[in-house]
Structure 1
Amino acid sequence: MKKILFVTMIALMVAVLAACGSDKEETGKAEGAEQKTITFGVTPWTSTVPPTKIAGLILKDMGYEVVETSADAGSVYTGLSRGDLDVFMDAWVPIHQTYLDKYEDTISSTSVSYPDGETGWTVPTYMEDINTVEDLKGREAEFGNNFYGIEAGAGATIESNEILEAYEFDMTQVNSSEGGMLAQAQKMMADEEPVVFYGWRPHTMFNKFDLKVLTNEKGFFETSSVEVITNNELKGNAPEAYEFLSNWSISIDDVEEMIVKIEEGDDPETVAQEWIDNNQDKVDEMLGK
């Protein structure tokens, strides 16, 4: 009887182990298997779309499944740090340095997309006597005591609050989406009213309107390096994808040109594929061919 019980227990154990092995094979999560799905964090900025779409299409051609998750900047960095997201194609450094410092144990800058992203407080050029942030002091009421910014979780929003504090401006930062901010600015510019808002390049705002980015003496909003950030586990889990992303680069002019096409109604993936087709030598270089 004991012998029969022992044999039965062994048979059950073998069956359980076989089932576990089968489950791993079916889900593609067998220990040591390469990760085949790459998840991008996508912020609600027009500058994020072209590089994300191009990188996604190339990774699909490499055999990966690609998933895009939309979130504000703070949530994207949190997702990267937790491993819920793998890649963010639009990190602005030093604006986002606080996030990189906070999650330095789990995320890293992998490559530079382009080194010349311009950002800062922006006004229309018809405001001829406003050329620096310092010029706003004492004139806050002319602007309705408002500075218009993007979403609350963005690094630019944090730095703009630091400007308000550093200069002791009698102003409030009004936060909304990129589209909401620009709609408000456009409405005021149509009547040539005083308005100050957050601007950056690459962006079609500089193609559509006559704008200038204000300089300042306190070192806020330095020229940004726009970089690719990855979760630290990606290098080991998907080495080929990581190698491609580590070789990534694109010109700011190309990104801005694609943004214009997308805003004019072209499909983002079609625009991205067109760039790939016209820059195959660049793609081969990033793929290490």
Structure 2
Amino acid sequence: MTSRVFAAGLVAALLAGVAPLAAAEPESCASPRFSDVGWTDISATTAVAGRILTSLGYEPRIDILSVAVTYEALPRGDVDIFLGNWMPLQEPTQKPLVDAGRIDVVRANLEGALIGLAVPKAAYDAGLRTYADIAKFGDAVDHRIYGIEAGSSANATILDMIKADKFGLKDFTLVESSEQAMLAQVKRAARSEKPIVFFGWRPHPMNVNIEMDYLTEGDDVFGPDDGAARVLTNTRPGYLADCPNVGRFLSNLVFSVEAEDLMMSYILDDGMTADAAAEKWLRDNPAALDAWLDGVTTREGAPGVPAARQALGL
């Protein structure tokens, strides 16, 4: 049965003028292993990638891992793919591994991102507008800066600022928390018009759901242009050569800020799971498959776009 299915797929691929890339993949490529670090944007994009690969006959595995564990697992080959390499924030962790050939960079899967410290609009209007203003509002913000999960590069950057007394922050404390808990705290403060300083980023529904502004004049702490960022796709070393069909898909896979804002809103505002959000976005945006699956086949070697459309009910 498997031989007949593969042969049929091979003929279809040849008739369509598509090289049967999957034929060159070993069985180990059948279950691509993703790291999802639990950030809503990465959960959403990873779910999209996983759903598309499933539609092509793969059996992707997605594990929830911290950033630190992810960058230990990729060089060991325990994880194949990571869609959440925020740059330049993670450069201190990523660059030595890239330079040593211990992880590979596929491409930027998102441009136009932004990271940095932010405040509710009321605090910004009251004069908390730059990084140097934080210390001036020390009592008002309880000498606290709200970050995300322990071990993240964002928290490490904030801790370095505090330890170095940059911007006069030596008496401040970093509050480490989950993304959801941090945002709940920010929303409570914003409703009561109490100043709060927190780590923000775009894309994220927070930029729509909370009246907020990003602080400026950050002396490139979170990167040039006050935290302008992009997100890269990383793999274990040699993965694209070992699994060229999945590799072609990863080389094609790129998102927009608007698409991620929407998927993240489905999750955070509408209570969808990441998988359900991915399904909805794909149903509403089927044309994305044409570019993402250009030159990509099913596991059996058939053209990828029609197979994915059929499997996804598009």
Which category of TM-score, normalised to the shorter sequence, fits these structures?
A: 0.7 to 0.9
Q: 1:36 aligns with which of 20, 30, 41?
A: 30
**1:123 correspondence with 2:83:** no
Q: Answer with 120-129 or 133-142: which moved more.
A: 133-142
| SS of corresponding position for 1:240 | helix
Does residue 271 (structure 1) correspond to residue 277 (structure 2)? The answer is yes
Distance in structure 2 (CA, Å) of the matches to 1:227 and 1:187: 33
> Which residue pairs with 1:113 in the alignment?
109
For residues 213 and 179 of structure 2, the distance between their equivalents in structure 1, rounded to whole angstroms, comes to 18
Give distance in 2, aligned partners of 1:269 and 1:184: 26
**Matches of 1:193 and 1:282 in 2, distance apart?**
42
* Higher gyration radius (CA): 1
Structure 1, 102-111 or 84-93: larger mean CA deviation: 102-111
Q: What is the rounded CA distance, in whole Å, between the counterparts of 1:32 and 1:249 in structure 2?
A: 26
Provide the residue aligned with 1:288 in structure 2.
Answer: 294
Structure 2 contact 132–168 (Cα < 8 Å) conserved: no
Separation of aligned partners in 2, 1:67 and 1:42: 10
Q: Which amino acid aligns with 1:119?
A: I
1:176-226 Cα deviation digits (max 9, x unpaired): 111121222222222211210111111111221100010124112221111
Q: Deviations over 1:91-144 (max 9, x none)?
A: 110001112123222212212122111111110010111111111233322211
Describe the SS at the equivalent of 1:229. Answer: strand
Contact 1:121 1:199 in 2 (8 A): yes
When the two chains are superposed, the root-mean-square deviation of aligned CA atoms in Å is 1.8
- Residues 1-289 of structure 1 correspond to what in structure 2 (within 5 A)? 33-104=27-98, 105-127=101-123, 128=125, 129-164=127-162, 165=164, 166-169=166-169, 170-221=171-222, 222-263=227-268, 264-289=270-295
In structure 2, runs of 5+ residues without a counterpart are 1-24, 296-314
Cα distance in 2 between the residues matched to 1:97 and 1:283 = 31
Q: Counterpart amino acid of 2:55?
A: D
- Paired letter, 2:105: S
Cα separation, 1, equivalents of 2:130 and 2:174: 18
What secondary structure does 2:93 align onto? helix
Give the C-alpha shift of residue 274 in structure 1. Answer: 3.0
How far apart, in 2, do the equivalents of 1:183 and 1:69 lie? 25
The answer (yes or no) to whether the contact 1:100–1:108 under 8 Å persists in 2 is: no
Partner Cα distance (2:230, 2:282) in 1: 23
Q: Secondary structure at the match of 2:216?
A: coil
2-structure distance, mates of 1:202, 1:211: 14
SS at match of 2:74: helix
Listed one character per residue, the Cα deviations across residues 157-194 of structure 1 (whole Å, up to 9, x for unaligned) are: 11112332222312111111111212222222222112
2-side partners of 1:83 and 1:283: how far apart?
A: 28
Classify 1:33/1:182 alpha carbon distance in 2 versus 1 (closer, same or farther; 3 Å).
Answer: closer
Contact 1:116 1:226 in 2 (8 A): no
**Equivalent-residue separation in structure 2 for 1:181 and 1:267 (angstroms):** 20
Amino acid aligned to 1:216: E
Greater RCO, 1 or 2 (C-alpha within 8 Å, sep 6+): 2
Matched residue type, 1:157 = N
Distance in 2 (CA, whole Å) between partners of 1:91 and 1:138 is: 33
- Identity among equivalent positions (%) equals 28
4+ aligned runs moved over 6 Å, structure 1? none
- In structure 2, C-alpha distance between the alignment counterparts of 1:191 and 1:114, rounded to whole Å: 34
In structure 1, list runs of 5 or more residues that go unmatched: 1-30
Question: Secondary structure of the residue that 1:121 maps to in structure 2?
Answer: strand
TM-score, normalising length from structure 1?
0.84
- Local SS of the residue matching 2:116: strand
TM-score w.r.t. structure 2 length? 0.78
What is the one-letter code of the residue matched to 1:195? I
Q: In structure 2, what is the Cα distance between the partners aligned to 1:131 and 1:88?
A: 34
